[in-house]
Amino acid sequence: MTMTANPLQGLATARRNGKPYGITSVCSAHPLVIQAAIRRAIAHRDSVLLIEATCNQVNQFGGYTGMTPDLFVAFVKEIAGREGLDASRIIFGGDHLGPNPWKGEPAAPAMAKAEAMVTAYVWAGFSKIHLDTSMGCAGEPAALDDETIAARAARLAKAVEKAARARGGALPLYIIGTEVPVPGGADHVISGLKPTEAAAARRTIDIHRHIFAREGLNEAFERVIAVVVQPGVEFGSENVIRYRPEASAPLTRLLDTERSLVYEAHSTDYQSRAALTALVANGFPILKVGPGLTFALREALYGLDLIASEMVAGYGERSLAIAMEKLMLSVPGHWRSHYHGSEKRLYLQRHYSYSDRIRYYWTNPVASIAVARLIDALNGSAIPETLMRQFLPTLPAELGATGDPQAVLLAAVDLVLADYDAACRGG
Protein backbone atom coordinates (compact mmCIF):
# COMPACT_ATOMS: atom_id res chain seq x y z
CA MET A 1 0.00 0.00 0.00
CA THR A 2 1.02 3.60 -0.45
CA MET A 3 0.63 5.74 2.64
CA THR A 4 -0.62 9.32 2.50
CA ALA A 5 0.56 11.88 5.02
CA ASN A 6 -2.55 10.91 6.96
CA PRO A 7 -3.57 7.40 5.86
CA LEU A 8 -7.03 7.84 7.37
CA GLN A 9 -7.85 10.21 4.53
CA GLY A 10 -6.98 7.65 1.88
CA LEU A 11 -8.97 4.67 3.17
CA ALA A 12 -12.11 5.18 1.08
CA THR A 13 -10.18 6.04 -2.08
CA ALA A 14 -7.98 2.98 -1.70
CA ARG A 15 -11.05 0.77 -1.36
CA ARG A 16 -12.65 2.32 -4.45
CA ASN A 17 -9.47 1.69 -6.41
CA GLY A 18 -9.41 -1.96 -5.42
CA LYS A 19 -6.30 -1.59 -3.26
CA PRO A 20 -7.67 -1.44 0.30
CA TYR A 21 -5.41 -1.03 3.27
CA GLY A 22 -6.15 -0.69 6.96
CA ILE A 23 -4.88 0.99 10.08
CA THR A 24 -4.66 -0.42 13.58
CA SER A 25 -6.20 1.69 16.30
CA VAL A 26 -4.31 0.98 19.53
CA CYS A 27 -6.73 1.65 22.37
CA SER A 28 -4.63 1.33 25.49
CA ALA A 29 -2.87 3.46 28.06
CA HIS A 30 -0.48 0.76 29.26
CA PRO A 31 3.10 1.99 28.74
CA LEU A 32 4.38 -1.39 27.55
CA VAL A 33 1.58 -1.66 24.99
CA ILE A 34 2.35 1.86 23.77
CA GLN A 35 6.07 1.01 23.65
CA ALA A 36 5.45 -2.14 21.62
CA ALA A 37 3.24 -0.25 19.16
CA ILE A 38 5.85 2.47 18.80
CA ARG A 39 8.61 -0.06 18.11
CA ARG A 40 6.48 -1.69 15.41
CA ALA A 41 5.90 1.72 13.82
CA ILE A 42 9.64 2.37 13.84
CA ALA A 43 10.25 -0.97 12.14
CA HIS A 44 7.90 0.04 9.31
CA ARG A 45 9.11 3.42 8.16
CA ASP A 46 6.17 3.96 5.81
CA SER A 47 3.60 3.72 8.60
CA VAL A 48 1.96 6.01 11.09
CA LEU A 49 0.70 5.00 14.52
CA LEU A 50 -2.89 5.56 15.59
CA ILE A 51 -3.36 5.67 19.36
CA GLU A 52 -6.77 6.34 20.86
CA ALA A 53 -8.17 7.32 24.24
CA THR A 54 -11.78 7.02 25.37
CA CYS A 55 -13.94 9.53 27.19
CA ASN A 56 -13.93 7.47 30.40
CA GLN A 57 -10.21 6.80 30.20
CA VAL A 58 -9.03 10.36 29.53
CA ASN A 59 -10.98 13.58 30.03
CA GLN A 60 -10.67 17.06 31.49
CA PHE A 61 -11.12 15.59 34.99
CA GLY A 62 -8.53 12.84 34.50
CA GLY A 63 -10.74 9.84 33.75
CA TYR A 64 -9.83 6.47 35.20
CA THR A 65 -6.19 6.85 34.08
CA GLY A 66 -5.83 10.14 35.93
CA MET A 67 -4.72 11.74 32.66
CA THR A 68 -6.21 14.77 30.97
CA PRO A 69 -5.96 14.84 27.14
CA ASP A 70 -2.78 16.92 27.17
CA LEU A 71 -1.17 14.64 29.76
CA PHE A 72 -2.06 11.56 27.68
CA VAL A 73 -0.44 13.08 24.60
CA ALA A 74 2.64 14.01 26.62
CA PHE A 75 2.76 10.48 28.07
CA VAL A 76 2.74 8.89 24.60
CA LYS A 77 5.21 11.40 23.16
CA GLU A 78 7.62 10.79 26.02
CA ILE A 79 7.73 7.08 25.19
CA ALA A 80 8.03 7.89 21.47
CA GLY A 81 10.94 10.24 22.15
CA ARG A 82 12.69 7.63 24.24
CA GLU A 83 12.24 5.03 21.48
CA GLY A 84 13.19 7.36 18.62
CA LEU A 85 9.85 7.76 16.85
CA ASP A 86 9.10 11.19 15.42
CA ALA A 87 5.91 12.41 17.09
CA SER A 88 4.64 13.62 13.71
CA ARG A 89 4.04 9.96 12.83
CA ILE A 90 1.50 9.55 15.63
CA ILE A 91 -2.21 10.21 15.11
CA PHE A 92 -4.16 10.73 18.32
CA GLY A 93 -7.80 9.70 18.30
CA GLY A 94 -10.60 10.36 20.75
CA ASP A 95 -13.07 7.49 21.06
CA HIS A 96 -16.73 7.65 22.16
CA LEU A 97 -16.44 11.36 22.88
CA GLY A 98 -19.72 12.51 24.35
CA PRO A 99 -21.60 12.70 27.64
CA ASN A 100 -21.08 9.06 28.67
CA PRO A 101 -18.91 9.83 31.75
CA TRP A 102 -21.68 12.08 33.06
CA LYS A 103 -24.78 10.26 31.82
CA GLY A 104 -26.05 10.06 35.39
CA GLU A 105 -26.56 13.84 35.25
CA PRO A 106 -29.25 15.77 33.33
CA ALA A 107 -28.51 16.31 29.66
CA ALA A 108 -27.69 20.02 29.94
CA PRO A 109 -24.73 19.75 32.35
CA ALA A 110 -23.59 16.44 30.82
CA MET A 111 -23.44 17.93 27.33
CA ALA A 112 -21.69 21.04 28.63
CA LYS A 113 -19.00 18.82 30.12
CA ALA A 114 -18.81 16.86 26.86
CA GLU A 115 -18.25 20.13 24.96
CA ALA A 116 -15.44 21.04 27.35
CA MET A 117 -13.96 17.57 26.91
CA VAL A 118 -13.87 17.61 23.10
CA THR A 119 -12.36 21.10 23.25
CA ALA A 120 -9.62 19.80 25.54
CA TYR A 121 -8.99 16.87 23.21
CA VAL A 122 -8.54 19.17 20.21
CA TRP A 123 -6.24 21.57 22.03
CA ALA A 124 -4.13 18.58 23.14
CA GLY A 125 -3.61 17.54 19.52
CA PHE A 126 -6.22 14.85 18.93
CA SER A 127 -7.19 14.92 15.26
CA LYS A 128 -9.50 11.88 14.89
CA ILE A 129 -12.74 12.45 16.75
CA HIS A 130 -15.44 9.82 17.25
CA LEU A 131 -18.64 11.62 18.20
CA ASP A 132 -20.79 9.37 20.39
CA THR A 133 -23.90 10.93 21.90
CA SER A 134 -26.05 7.81 21.80
CA MET A 135 -26.53 7.35 25.51
CA GLY A 136 -29.42 8.84 27.44
CA CYS A 137 -28.72 11.08 30.40
CA ALA A 138 -30.69 11.36 33.64
CA GLY A 139 -34.42 11.15 33.00
CA GLU A 140 -33.95 10.02 29.39
CA PRO A 141 -34.28 6.61 27.71
CA ALA A 142 -31.09 4.55 27.82
CA ALA A 143 -30.89 4.68 24.01
CA LEU A 144 -31.81 7.91 22.25
CA ASP A 145 -33.51 8.40 18.89
CA ASP A 146 -31.40 9.02 15.79
CA GLU A 147 -32.37 12.69 15.48
CA THR A 148 -31.35 13.53 19.06
CA ILE A 149 -28.09 11.64 18.69
CA ALA A 150 -27.22 13.50 15.48
CA ALA A 151 -28.23 16.89 16.90
CA ARG A 152 -26.00 16.37 19.94
CA ALA A 153 -23.17 15.12 17.73
CA ALA A 154 -23.48 18.31 15.67
CA ARG A 155 -23.35 20.38 18.85
CA LEU A 156 -20.09 18.70 19.83
CA ALA A 157 -18.75 19.09 16.29
CA LYS A 158 -19.27 22.84 16.57
CA ALA A 159 -17.13 22.88 19.71
CA VAL A 160 -14.50 20.76 17.94
CA GLU A 161 -14.45 23.04 14.90
CA LYS A 162 -14.17 26.18 17.03
CA ALA A 163 -11.25 24.78 18.99
CA ALA A 164 -9.50 23.41 15.89
CA ARG A 165 -9.69 26.70 14.04
CA ALA A 166 -8.42 28.59 17.07
CA ARG A 167 -5.56 26.12 17.52
CA GLY A 168 -4.57 26.13 13.86
CA GLY A 169 -3.17 23.30 11.79
CA ALA A 170 -5.03 20.50 10.04
CA LEU A 171 -8.72 20.30 10.79
CA PRO A 172 -9.94 17.11 12.49
CA LEU A 173 -11.44 14.03 10.89
CA TYR A 174 -14.67 12.63 12.27
CA ILE A 175 -16.17 9.23 12.96
CA ILE A 176 -19.94 9.00 13.45
CA GLY A 177 -22.23 6.16 14.48
CA THR A 178 -22.50 4.25 17.71
CA GLU A 179 -23.82 0.74 17.06
CA VAL A 180 -20.93 -1.04 18.67
CA PRO A 181 -20.29 -3.90 21.10
CA VAL A 182 -20.38 -3.15 24.81
CA PRO A 183 -17.15 -1.27 25.69
CA GLY A 184 -14.67 -3.82 27.01
CA GLY A 185 -16.77 -6.74 25.77
CA ALA A 186 -20.01 -8.28 26.92
CA ASP A 187 -20.37 -9.65 30.46
CA HIS A 188 -21.87 -13.01 29.45
CA VAL A 189 -21.36 -15.88 27.04
CA ILE A 190 -22.54 -14.75 23.61
CA SER A 191 -24.39 -17.26 21.47
CA GLY A 192 -24.83 -15.12 18.37
CA LEU A 193 -24.52 -11.63 17.02
CA LYS A 194 -26.35 -9.80 14.26
CA PRO A 195 -24.49 -7.18 12.21
CA THR A 196 -25.97 -3.72 11.79
CA GLU A 197 -28.61 -3.67 9.10
CA ALA A 198 -27.60 -1.70 6.03
CA ALA A 199 -30.81 0.35 6.28
CA ALA A 200 -29.90 1.40 9.81
CA ALA A 201 -26.42 2.45 8.71
CA ARG A 202 -27.93 4.38 5.81
CA ARG A 203 -30.28 6.17 8.22
CA THR A 204 -27.40 7.09 10.54
CA ILE A 205 -25.46 8.62 7.64
CA ASP A 206 -28.44 10.47 6.17
CA ILE A 207 -29.63 11.97 9.46
CA HIS A 208 -26.15 13.13 10.43
CA ARG A 209 -25.62 14.63 6.98
CA HIS A 210 -28.97 16.47 7.18
CA ILE A 211 -28.51 17.83 10.69
CA PHE A 212 -24.89 18.84 10.12
CA ALA A 213 -26.06 20.79 7.05
CA ARG A 214 -28.88 22.39 9.04
CA GLU A 215 -26.35 23.51 11.66
CA GLY A 216 -23.96 25.01 9.10
CA LEU A 217 -21.50 22.13 9.38
CA ASN A 218 -21.36 21.01 5.75
CA GLU A 219 -17.60 21.47 5.59
CA ALA A 220 -17.13 19.50 8.80
CA PHE A 221 -19.28 16.66 7.47
CA GLU A 222 -17.00 16.42 4.46
CA ARG A 223 -14.35 15.33 6.95
CA VAL A 224 -16.46 12.44 8.23
CA ILE A 225 -14.39 9.48 7.07
CA ALA A 226 -16.05 6.50 8.74
CA VAL A 227 -19.16 5.16 10.41
CA VAL A 228 -19.16 2.87 13.43
CA VAL A 229 -21.34 -0.17 12.83
CA GLN A 230 -21.49 -3.70 14.19
CA PRO A 231 -19.78 -5.98 11.63
CA GLY A 232 -20.59 -9.09 13.67
CA VAL A 233 -17.52 -9.29 15.90
CA GLU A 234 -17.59 -9.34 19.68
CA PHE A 235 -16.03 -10.94 22.70
CA GLY A 236 -17.52 -11.72 26.06
CA SER A 237 -15.90 -12.83 29.24
CA GLU A 238 -15.39 -16.39 28.03
CA ASN A 239 -15.91 -16.54 24.27
CA VAL A 240 -15.33 -14.72 21.00
CA ILE A 241 -17.74 -14.26 18.08
CA ARG A 242 -15.72 -14.70 14.91
CA TYR A 243 -16.20 -12.51 11.85
CA ARG A 244 -18.38 -13.97 9.08
CA PRO A 245 -17.96 -11.89 5.93
CA GLU A 246 -21.21 -13.08 4.38
CA ALA A 247 -23.24 -11.75 7.33
CA SER A 248 -22.00 -8.18 6.81
CA ALA A 249 -22.15 -8.23 2.99
CA PRO A 250 -25.09 -5.75 2.85
CA LEU A 251 -23.03 -3.28 4.87
CA THR A 252 -20.14 -3.68 2.48
CA ARG A 253 -22.42 -3.03 -0.51
CA LEU A 254 -23.69 0.18 1.09
CA LEU A 255 -20.20 1.65 0.77
CA ASP A 256 -20.56 1.45 -3.01
CA THR A 257 -23.07 4.31 -2.73
CA GLU A 258 -21.23 6.19 0.05
CA ARG A 259 -17.93 6.39 -1.73
CA SER A 260 -16.22 8.79 0.68
CA LEU A 261 -16.83 6.57 3.70
CA VAL A 262 -15.60 3.36 5.26
CA TYR A 263 -16.49 1.61 8.51
CA GLU A 264 -14.70 1.58 11.82
CA ALA A 265 -14.68 -1.85 13.49
CA HIS A 266 -14.72 -1.89 17.28
CA SER A 267 -13.91 -4.89 19.51
CA THR A 268 -11.86 -6.71 16.90
CA ASP A 269 -9.79 -8.18 19.75
CA TYR A 270 -9.06 -11.93 19.49
CA GLN A 271 -10.02 -12.17 15.81
CA SER A 272 -7.72 -14.26 13.61
CA ARG A 273 -5.34 -12.71 11.10
CA ALA A 274 -7.56 -14.04 8.31
CA ALA A 275 -10.65 -12.44 9.87
CA LEU A 276 -8.88 -9.11 10.32
CA THR A 277 -7.69 -9.23 6.71
CA ALA A 278 -11.25 -9.90 5.55
CA LEU A 279 -12.55 -6.98 7.62
CA VAL A 280 -10.13 -4.62 5.90
CA ALA A 281 -11.02 -5.97 2.45
CA ASN A 282 -14.75 -5.67 3.14
CA GLY A 283 -14.79 -2.00 4.12
CA PHE A 284 -13.85 -2.11 7.81
CA PRO A 285 -10.25 -0.85 7.58
CA ILE A 286 -10.03 0.90 10.96
CA LEU A 287 -9.40 -1.97 13.36
CA LYS A 288 -9.71 -1.07 17.03
CA VAL A 289 -7.95 -3.26 19.58
CA GLY A 290 -7.34 -2.79 23.30
CA PRO A 291 -8.14 -5.62 25.72
CA GLY A 292 -6.58 -8.13 23.33
CA LEU A 293 -3.23 -6.38 23.76
CA THR A 294 -3.32 -6.23 27.55
CA PHE A 295 -4.64 -9.81 27.65
CA ALA A 296 -1.47 -10.90 25.82
CA LEU A 297 0.59 -8.81 28.23
CA ARG A 298 -1.10 -10.47 31.21
CA GLU A 299 -0.48 -13.91 29.71
CA ALA A 300 3.23 -13.09 29.46
CA LEU A 301 3.37 -11.61 32.96
CA TYR A 302 1.74 -14.69 34.43
CA GLY A 303 4.02 -16.94 32.39
CA LEU A 304 7.05 -15.14 33.78
CA ASP A 305 5.50 -15.33 37.25
CA LEU A 306 5.40 -19.12 36.94
CA ILE A 307 8.94 -19.19 35.57
CA ALA A 308 10.23 -17.09 38.46
CA SER A 309 8.43 -19.40 40.88
CA GLU A 310 10.33 -22.34 39.39
CA MET A 311 13.82 -20.87 39.04
CA VAL A 312 14.33 -17.95 41.44
CA ALA A 313 15.00 -18.85 45.05
CA GLY A 314 12.95 -16.79 47.47
CA TYR A 315 10.56 -15.45 44.85
CA GLY A 316 7.64 -17.45 46.15
CA GLU A 317 4.79 -19.33 44.51
CA ARG A 318 3.03 -17.18 41.88
CA SER A 319 3.83 -13.99 43.74
CA LEU A 320 2.41 -11.67 41.07
CA ALA A 321 -0.86 -13.57 40.61
CA ILE A 322 -1.42 -13.67 44.38
CA ALA A 323 -0.76 -9.94 44.67
CA MET A 324 -3.20 -9.19 41.84
CA GLU A 325 -5.91 -11.36 43.42
CA LYS A 326 -5.60 -9.53 46.73
CA LEU A 327 -5.68 -6.18 44.95
CA MET A 328 -8.76 -6.98 42.87
CA LEU A 329 -10.62 -8.28 45.92
CA SER A 330 -9.77 -5.17 47.92
CA VAL A 331 -10.75 -2.80 45.07
CA PRO A 332 -13.55 -4.62 43.20
CA GLY A 333 -15.09 -1.66 41.38
CA HIS A 334 -13.57 -2.45 37.99
CA TRP A 335 -14.88 -6.03 37.78
CA ARG A 336 -17.74 -6.64 40.22
CA SER A 337 -20.59 -5.59 37.91
CA HIS A 338 -19.03 -7.32 34.87
CA TYR A 339 -18.32 -10.84 36.14
CA HIS A 340 -20.92 -13.33 37.37
CA GLY A 341 -21.15 -16.82 38.80
CA SER A 342 -19.70 -18.90 41.62
CA GLU A 343 -16.64 -17.87 43.60
CA LYS A 344 -14.48 -20.13 41.43
CA ARG A 345 -15.89 -18.65 38.23
CA LEU A 346 -15.37 -15.13 39.55
CA TYR A 347 -11.75 -15.98 40.38
CA LEU A 348 -11.15 -17.35 36.88
CA GLN A 349 -12.77 -14.32 35.27
CA ARG A 350 -10.78 -11.85 37.37
CA HIS A 351 -7.56 -13.29 36.00
CA TYR A 352 -8.35 -14.87 32.64
CA SER A 353 -11.42 -13.19 31.16
CA TYR A 354 -11.32 -12.01 27.55
CA SER A 355 -12.86 -8.81 28.90
CA ASP A 356 -9.54 -8.36 30.69
CA ARG A 357 -10.87 -6.17 33.49
CA ILE A 358 -7.55 -6.81 35.22
CA ARG A 359 -6.06 -4.24 32.85
CA TYR A 360 -7.49 -1.45 35.02
CA TYR A 361 -5.27 -2.54 37.92
CA TRP A 362 -1.77 -2.58 36.41
CA THR A 363 -1.13 1.08 37.25
CA ASN A 364 -2.14 0.60 40.89
CA PRO A 365 0.97 0.96 43.11
CA VAL A 366 0.43 -2.53 44.53
CA ALA A 367 0.48 -4.03 41.04
CA SER A 368 3.41 -1.87 39.93
CA ILE A 369 5.47 -3.07 42.88
CA ALA A 370 4.60 -6.72 42.21
CA VAL A 371 5.50 -6.41 38.52
CA ALA A 372 8.77 -4.63 39.36
CA ARG A 373 9.64 -7.42 41.78
CA LEU A 374 9.03 -10.00 39.05
CA ILE A 375 11.16 -8.10 36.53
CA ASP A 376 13.96 -7.68 39.07
CA ALA A 377 13.84 -11.38 39.95
CA LEU A 378 14.40 -12.43 36.34
CA ASN A 379 16.51 -9.56 35.05
CA GLY A 380 19.89 -10.80 33.87
CA SER A 381 18.99 -14.47 34.29
CA ALA A 382 18.68 -16.60 31.19
CA ILE A 383 15.42 -18.53 31.14
CA PRO A 384 15.96 -22.12 30.02
CA GLU A 385 14.38 -22.97 26.70
CA THR A 386 12.40 -25.72 28.37
CA LEU A 387 10.73 -23.27 30.76
CA MET A 388 9.89 -20.92 27.89
CA ARG A 389 8.28 -23.86 26.08
CA GLN A 390 6.37 -24.84 29.19
CA PHE A 391 5.01 -21.46 30.29
CA LEU A 392 5.28 -19.17 27.23
CA PRO A 393 4.88 -21.57 24.29
CA THR A 394 3.62 -18.97 21.79
CA LEU A 395 6.83 -16.93 22.05
CA PRO A 396 10.24 -17.75 20.56
CA ALA A 397 12.06 -19.88 23.12
CA GLU A 398 15.33 -18.07 22.39
CA LEU A 399 13.89 -14.89 23.92
CA GLY A 400 14.55 -16.38 27.33
CA ALA A 401 18.28 -16.51 26.71
CA THR A 402 18.48 -12.70 26.64
CA GLY A 403 17.87 -12.41 30.36
CA ASP A 404 15.54 -9.50 29.59
CA PRO A 405 12.00 -10.15 30.89
CA GLN A 406 10.76 -6.84 29.52
CA ALA A 407 11.72 -7.99 26.02
CA VAL A 408 9.51 -11.03 26.58
CA LEU A 409 6.57 -8.81 27.55
CA LEU A 410 7.03 -6.56 24.52
CA ALA A 411 7.26 -9.59 22.23
CA ALA A 412 3.95 -10.90 23.57
CA VAL A 413 2.18 -7.65 22.72
CA ASP A 414 3.93 -7.43 19.35
CA LEU A 415 2.71 -10.91 18.45
CA VAL A 416 -0.85 -9.53 18.51
CA LEU A 417 0.11 -6.32 16.72
CA ALA A 418 1.77 -8.38 13.98
CA ASP A 419 -1.59 -9.89 13.02
CA TYR A 420 -3.12 -6.44 12.73
CA ASP A 421 -0.18 -5.12 10.79
CA ALA A 422 -0.38 -8.01 8.32
CA ALA A 423 -4.15 -7.55 7.92
CA CYS A 424 -3.75 -3.83 7.28
CA ARG A 425 -1.18 -4.60 4.59
CA GLY A 426 -3.40 -7.11 2.84
CA GLY A 427 -2.66 -10.27 4.80
Q: What is the pLDDT of residues 215-261, one digit of tens each?
A: 999 999 999 999 999 999 999 999 999 999 999 999 999 999 999 99
Q: What's the angle, vertex CA 224, arms to CA 119 and CA 201, rounded to 5?
A: 120
Question: How many Å apart are CA 427 and CA 412, to the nearest integer?
Answer: 20
pLDDT tens-place string over residues 184-212? 444 455 667 899 999 999 999 999 999 99
Contact 378, 354 (CB under 8 A): no
Statement: residue 409 has pLDDT above 80: yes
Confidence at residue 205, expressed as pLDDT on a 0 to 100 scale? 97
Average pLDDT for the chain: 95
pLDDT of residue 185: 45
Percent of the chain's residues with pLDDT above 90: 93
pLDDT for position 178: 86
CA distance 115 to 155: 8
Mean local confidence (pLDDT), 326-334: 98
HSE, side-chain direction, 13 A CA sphere, residue 374:
30
**Stretch 312-337: mean pLDDT, rounded?**
97
pLDDT digits (tens, 9 = 90+) for 84-106: 999 999 999 999 999 999 999 99
Percent of the chain whose pLDDT exceeds 70: 96
Residue 125: name the closest of 98, 156, 92 by CA: 92
pLDDT at 378: 98
Q: For residues 268 and 384, is the Cβ–Cβ distance under 8 A?
A: no
pLDDT tens-digit profile of 32-49? 999 999 999 999 987 899
pLDDT > 80? residue 63: yes
Position 47 scores a pLDDT of: 87
Average pLDDT over residues 363-369: 97
Residue-level pLDDT at 427: 80
Per-residue pLDDT, 2? 41
Q: Which of 194, 196, 190 has the alpha carbon at shortest distance from 240?
A: 190
Does pLDDT of 285 surpass 70? yes
Check pLDDT > 80 for residue 299: yes
* Contacts of residue 239, Cβ cutoff 8 Å, sequence gap at least 6: 189, 190, 354
Q: How far apart are CA 45 and CA 381, in angstroms?
A: 33
What are the residues whose beta carbons fall under 8 Å from the beta carbon of 392, sequence distance 6 or more?
300, 303, 304, 307, 399, 400, 408, 412
Q: Which pLDDT score, from 0 to 100, does residue 189 have?
A: 56
Report how far residue 149's alpha carbon sits from residue 153's, in angstroms, rounded to the nearest whole number.
6
**Under DSSP, is residue 50 helix (H, G, I), strand (E, B) or coil?**
strand
Q: Answer yes or no: is pLDDT of 183 > 70.
A: no
- Whether 88 contacts 47, CB under 8 Å: no
- Cα–Cα distance, 262 to 255 (Å, whole number): 7
Element at 227 (helix H, strand E): strand 224-228
Range 164-168, long-range pairs (CB < 8 A, 24+ positions): 164/122, 167/122, 167/123
Counting Cβ atoms within 10 Å, is residue 141 exposed (0-12), middle (13-18) or buried (19+)?
exposed
**pTM beyond cutoff 0.85:** yes
| Average of per-residue pLDDT across 330-347 | 97
- Tell me the three state secondary structure of residue 421: helix
Is 68 strand, coil or helix? coil
pLDDT at 180: 54
- In this prediction, residue 1 has a pLDDT band, given cuts at 50, 70 and 90, of very low
Q: Which helix (H) or strand (E) holds 175?
A: strand 173-176
